[in-house]
Amino acid sequence: MTQGQAATERARALADPASFDEIADPALRKVLRAYLVRGRLPVIPRGGAKRSLLLAYLATAFEPGLRYPETEVNEIVGVWHPDVAALRRYLVDEGLLARQDSVYWRCGGWV
């Protein structure tokens, strides 16, 4: 299994509503239950704390220290929402992923 495939599997596991009960933070559980429908984000929050929580949670699909080509990042974030360009941009803007020459790596968020 490639690192991209492993990250895509992690993203699927993170999006699985059955896994939300294991989350210690009640605010994060509430946001995930409010925004994820059958493991997908029908709408990305416009901004603020809710979007920040969702993005930080999504970023945990990426292993710190590994580099991902844009195609793999698209697969990973595509698990959550079809607008992969927007999610990539939001992850970078939020300081969770960094980008250079179409290669991304995790630079922030929870470990």
Per-residue model confidence as pLDDT tens digits over 19-42: 898 999 999 999 999 999 988 999
Spans of all domains in the chain: 3-106
**DSSP-based three-state secondary structure for 66:** coil
Q: Sign of dihedral through CA atoms 12, 15, 21, 25?
A: positive
pTM of the prediction? 0.92
- The answer to whether 7 touches 63, Cβ cutoff 8 Å, is yes
Alpha-carbon distance of 111 to 98, in angstroms, equals: 16
Predicted pLDDT at 88: 97
Task: Tell me the three state secondary structure of residue 99.
Answer: strand
* Alpha carbons 111 and 108: distance in angstroms, whole number: 9
